Structure formats: structure tokens, C-alpha cells
Structure 1
């Protein structure tokens, strides 16, 4: 993904690859559509990725990644299912940031 050559990502996706975004209730089927969706997404520059954490066990993996094109910024939590060395299923959550509520300010410290 960091290469921004989304066509090359197809090599790690299974023929029956499925992506799900539960928040918008969308499902995308196939590596070709995944590559096209990423290539067509409106960006202000190349996408840059910061992997905060990745955990894997057996055929399952989870990542916490920040993404930016220099203008837009987002953070995604992604759940991967892998079979025969390829990603068969990806379920992603793209939560929106929000300001911390004032009513708990006395209990927390703000992160960078």
C-alpha cells in the first residue's frame, strides 16, 4: 500500500477476496475492485502509512494504521483473514476523531 501502486496489492489478495466496512455497510468483492477503489479515491498527494501496531496469530491479523495524503488524515483498525499466504477477508473500521469530553478532563491526560 505504501508504494501507492495499488495494482501491485492484488498479488497478496486471494481470488475470492472480500472487504467489508461495517460502518457504511459496504462490501467490495475482488482484488481488481479493491485496487481500482484505492486508485480512484480522491487524494491530494501520495498516501503515507504509519503502522502503530500489528498482531497476528495463525490465519488472523489485526492492524492499527494511520493514513495521510498530506491533507486528509485517518486511522483504521483492520482485521485480516489469511489463507494460503493471501488475504481472503478484510474488515475495516475507520473511526472519526472527536474532541475529548470536558466532564472527564480531571481523570485523563491528552495524547499527542
Structure 2
């Protein structure tokens, strides 16, 4: 089944930065990767029955590109377009923000069932 109503989103990889005091904190890369995916809310009767309540701050992304899965240091990483770019849980997605802004959602889970189902959570 071909996906319709695709939206343009931007993927920003999670990186670990060091502050002036030596503390580590998570941030996101400045180089966005443009992806086209179907975005929809994770609210509704079926999702409510599965999770126990309606998650208004979550969204799902359906991405339809060939991928390969690798396991790097215990983290499942999904590679696309002959290893041109990858995504994993913790990366940021600009759904409603532009490519030069900070991501407004982060990836919490990726399910390789049919289309790649990516669960997002509001930052």
C-alpha cells in the first residue's frame, strides 16, 4: 500500500555535548535530513484501548523507504538509502518546526511492521 498525504519533516540526530563545567547533555545536530512521511495523531479509540489513555502529546509517523537494521552498542539503528542516513530512538524530528529550528518531537520507538512506524513524543 502506497502512503498518501505525505508531509515534509526533518530528522536531526541526537548528539552528546559537553558543557563548560564538563557535564554531558543531549542536543541535536545542526544538519537536518529531509524525509517525507505520513504524520497522524496517536489519539483515538484503538490507541486509547492499547495504552489505557489518550496520548495527546504523541504522534505517529509512517515512513515508506527500504531500510536495513543494525545493532550498534545495543541500540537498533535503521539505515536508509544505501546507508546515506540513519535514525534511532532519541533522535529529533521537526514536524511543525522548520529545518533551522530545534526539533519539536523526539523518536521514542520504531516498529518495522509493514511501513516503518515511528512513535514520536512532544519535547
TM-score calculated relative to the size of structure 1: 0.30
TM-score calculated relative to the size of structure 2: 0.28
Higher helix share: 1
